[in-house]
């Protein structure tokens, strides 16, 4: 643009009433601090470099494993190096299940074909016998359907093939509508005489990658092996069953449950300058499944909370109330860390809220606040601080698994909400690798937590 044409624009710009009003407007409370946090975070994108150390250098962190123990050490060192206060661990006992070297399956058709399919053991499953379990298959979409077909179930592999409901806007809701097959499939299968549970992977993605996750047994019902089958494998098995009802499936698993081991939550703080006894917890979980890198679930959450504290410290923003980062141990397989944290006696302390990030390192959209109608507006009033990063959607209802025990004690629990449409493409599978995490999206999550926890620490509720 030449100089004279620029001059022509000046009167137009100067008479813009909006602009004048904006220039005259005083910044609203904490807007300057929020802008500093956003600028510092996006400039450095420090969260991603921490995620590389946790998810790539250490790798997946199945509870009870040596990698989980390394992650505890990493958490302590990282927080100490960053100069956080009161860095320490709080011990808890955790289960130690291992996947074992073999997890294989094949469809054996009536005309003699052997078709390999991709499976993986569900967390907590027993192994099969040495050559695996081989049986005909009963496909069902629900536990009710299984009960109605119970006379046909004896000696069969029960194939739970109800997909996640794609019509749901919130993928988490679709997951919630399907995941009982994974958690309770083995119990329901064994209750009607089934010899194994084969469960459609909890994803809407059509691919060849099985997704693991926790399952359970109950003492009064025999234990049978349980595995996840990829969605491509599930569709193939479904189509072959339609033409060959007597086909068989062979499943081989070598997983094992070893004695419980001691592990720990990792904790670091910025101690409040005026009301240190009032605590805002910000937490993610340090453990992951043993698939992929545990990058989105929940390496992202672990680095979110460390980065949130780092941003405040780096900028010299001193919270009046204590902000405590907690890296919980074993969200995936029993919540031992969350239970231990809530049970621990903390004389003189009052938790005013707990914020959990366990929905992946995607672009943040806001927070779900599990507060009643009186307390909720005290959180929602800060949405304008998060609007510049499009994360100002503060809605009622929220929390997280690790902080669910605190909720039972009356603590207000809050969950970071993210743009999670892709989350279950990766969740609990070999797809959950660090290349699926974008450094800026990850950082924005940390920024949102830093802003929200800081303003709560300053103003209380
Ligand atoms: Zn998680």
> How does pLDDT run across 100-143, given as a tens digit for each residue?
999 999 999 999 999 999 999 999 999 999 999 999 999 999 99
Measured in Å, residue 197 CA sits from the centre of ligand 1 at: 23
Active-site annotation holder among 278, 307, 314, 331: 331
**Between vectors from CA 42 to CA 383 and to CA 268, what angle results, nearest 5°?**
75
Tokens (6 digits) for 230: 């990829």
Contacts of 52 (CB under 8 A, 6+ apart): 434
State the DSSP code for 214: B
Indicate whether this model's pTM tops 0.75.
yes
How many Å lie between the centroid of ligand 1 and the Cα of residue 150? 34
C-alpha span between 290 and 165 (Å, rounded): 26
Which among 369, 236, 298 has a CA at the least distance from the CA of 61? 298
pLDDT attached to residue 1: 42
Identify the pLDDT of residue 21. 54
In the reported structure, the alpha carbon of residue 431 is separated from the centroid of ligand 1 by a whole-number distance in angstroms of 14
In a 13 Å sphere around the CA of 307, the CA atoms on its Cβ side amount to 33
Distance in Å, CA 204 to ligand 1 centroid? 18
CA triplet 369, 371, 372: central angle to 5 degrees? 140
Largest CA distance in the chain: 89
295 CA distance to ligand 1 middle (Å): 10
Question: What's residue 25's pLDDT?
Answer: 81
269 given a catalytic annotation: no
Which residues are within 8 A (CB) of 298 and not within 5 positions of it... i.e. 6 or more apart?
Answer: 284, 285, 286, 287, 288, 331, 357, 358
DSSP codes joined into one string, 22-71: HHHSPPPTTHHHHHHHHHHHHHH-HHHHHHIIIIIII----TTSHHHHHH
Give the domains, in start order, of the chain with CATH numbers: 31-97+259-459 (3.40.630.10), 100-254 (3.50.30.30)
Residues around ion ligand 1, judged by CB within 5 A, are 297-298, 358
Beta strands in 382-455 (DSSP E): 393-396, 413-418
Token pair of 188 as six digits: 């329901």
Each residue's pLDDT tens digit, 222-234: 999 999 999 999 9
Whether omega before 298 lies within 30 degrees of 0, making that bond cis, reads: yes
pLDDT for res 12: 43
Contact between 454 and 30 (Cβ < 8 Å): yes
Residues 6+ apart with CB under 8 A from 355: 280, 281, 282, 283, 367, 403, 413, 414, 415, 416, 449, 452, 453
Distance 14 CA to ligand 1 centre (A): 52
- Could you say which residues of the chain have pLDDT below 70? 1-24
Q: Are 314 and 46 in contact (CB under 8 A)?
A: no
Q: Which residues of 384-399 are buried (b: 16+ CB within 10 A; e: fewer)?
A: ebbeebebbebeeebb
């Amino acid at each position: 643009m030449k100089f004279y044409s620029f001059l022509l624009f000046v009167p137009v710009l100067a008479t813009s009433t909006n602009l004048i009003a904006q220039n005259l407007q005083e910044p609203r409370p904490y807007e300057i601090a929020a802008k500093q946090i956003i600028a510092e975070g996006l400039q450095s994108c420090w969260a991603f470099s921490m995620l590389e150390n946790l998810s790539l250098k250490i790798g997946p962190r199945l509870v009870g494993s040596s990698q989980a123990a390394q992650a505890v050490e990493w958490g302590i060192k990282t927080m100490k190096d960053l100069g956080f206060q009161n860095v320490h661990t709080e011990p808890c006992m955790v289960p130690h299940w291992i996947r074992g070297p073999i997890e294989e399956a094949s469809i054996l058709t009536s005309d003699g074909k052997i078709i390999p399919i991709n499976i993986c053991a569900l967390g907590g499953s027993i192994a099969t016998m040495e050559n695996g379990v081989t049986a005909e298959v009963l496909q069902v979409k629900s536990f009710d359907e299984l009960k109605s077909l119970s006379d046909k179930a004896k000696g069969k592999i029960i194939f739970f093939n109800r997909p996640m409901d794609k019509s749901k806007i919130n993928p988490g809701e679709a997951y919630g509508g399907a995941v009982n097959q994974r958690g309770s499939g083995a119990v329901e299968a064994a209750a009607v005489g089934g010899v194994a549970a084969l469960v459609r992977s909890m994803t809407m993605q059509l691919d060849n990658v099985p997704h693991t996750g926790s399952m359970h047994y109950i003492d009064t019902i025999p234990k049978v092996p349980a595995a996840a089958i990829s969605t491509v494998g599930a569709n193939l098995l479904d189509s072959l069953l339609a033409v060959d009802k007597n086909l068989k499936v062979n499943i081989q698993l070598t997983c094992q449950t070893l004695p419980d081991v001691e592990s720990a939550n990792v904790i670091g703080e910025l101690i409040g300058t005026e009301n240190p006894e009032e605590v805002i917890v910000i937490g993610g979980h340090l453990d992951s499944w043993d698939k992929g890198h545990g990058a989105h679930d929940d390496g992202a959450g672990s680095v979110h909370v460390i980065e949130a504290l780092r941003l405040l410290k780096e900028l010299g923003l001193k919270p009046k109330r204590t902000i405590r980062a907690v890296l919980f141990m074993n969200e995936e397989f029993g919540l031992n860390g969350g239970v231990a944290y809530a049970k621990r006696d903390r004389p003189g302390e009052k938790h005013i809220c707990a914020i959990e990030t366990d929905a992946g390192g995607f672009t943040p959209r806001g927070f779900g606040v599990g507060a009643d109608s009186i307390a909720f507006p005290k959180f929602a009033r800060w949405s304008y601080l998060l609007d510049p990063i499009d994360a100002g959607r503060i809605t009622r209802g929220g929390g997280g698994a690790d902080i669910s025990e605190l909720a039972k004690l009356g603590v207000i629990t809050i969950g970071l909400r993210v743009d999670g449409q892709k989350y279950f493409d990766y969740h609990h599978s070999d797809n959950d690798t660090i290349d699926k995490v974008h450094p800026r999206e990850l950082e924005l999550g940390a920024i949102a937590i830093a802003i929200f926890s800081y303003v709560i620490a300053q103003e209380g509720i």
